[in-house]
């Protein structure tokens, strides 16, 4: 059975593990003549006062603008090697946004970086990659952070 990919979804957080995932996806896209979608999910802080959650558009605008600029920069970088790349910017919890992108865009493979946290750090912070691996309806290739 020959393996082939037409569409790769790559969640990016603009860190080192995410860059390794982008590099891997680019190599796969070049090999299989596949499309890449870079998806970045950002969260804006919300304030809780006496049971009331408060977040204003004034808080979202600069965060969204910075996220858009980083995604556009990454898209331009990838486009030099894979012209068939597009970006998808979403707001909300990372795992939820990535899973929604998978459901909507129907990629053949998700390629994502993982920080490789263990122990208490993993228990406290959790792992977006782990949630995606467990809940994704399509295969997920995780690229572990090689640092430390």
In the chain, what are the domain boundaries? 7-42+72-144
pLDDT value for 43: 87
The pLDDT-based confidence of 46 (bands split at 50, 70, 90) is: low
- Whole-number mean pLDDT of the chain? 87
Query: Between residues 91 and 126, which one has the greater pLDDT?
Result: 91
pLDDT of 52 above 80: no
Average pLDDT over residues 105-133: 77
pTM: 0.86
Homologous superfamily, domain 7-42+72-144: HUPs (3.40.50.620)
Task: At 39, give phi and psi (nearest 5°).
Answer: -115, 130
pLDDT value for 48: 62
């Amino acid at each position: 059975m020959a393996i082939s990919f037409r569409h790769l979804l790559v969640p990016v957080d603009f860190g080192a593990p995410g860059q390794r995932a982008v590099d891997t996806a680019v190599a796969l896209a070049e090999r299989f003549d596949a499309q890449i979608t870079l998806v970045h999910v950002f969260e804006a802080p919300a304030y809780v006062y006496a049971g009331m959650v408060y977040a204003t558009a004034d808080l979202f605008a600069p965060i969204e603008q910075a996220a858009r600029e980083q995604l556009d920069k990454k898209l331009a970088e990838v486009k030099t090697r894979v012209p068939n790349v597009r970006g998808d910017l979403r707001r909300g919890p990372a795992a939820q946004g990535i899973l929604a992108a998978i459901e909507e865009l129907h990629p053949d493979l998700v390629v994502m970086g993982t920080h490789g946290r263990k122990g208490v750090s993993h228990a406290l912070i959790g792992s977006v990659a782990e949630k995606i691996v467990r809940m994704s309806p399509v295969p997920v290739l995780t690229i572990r952070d090689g640092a430390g």
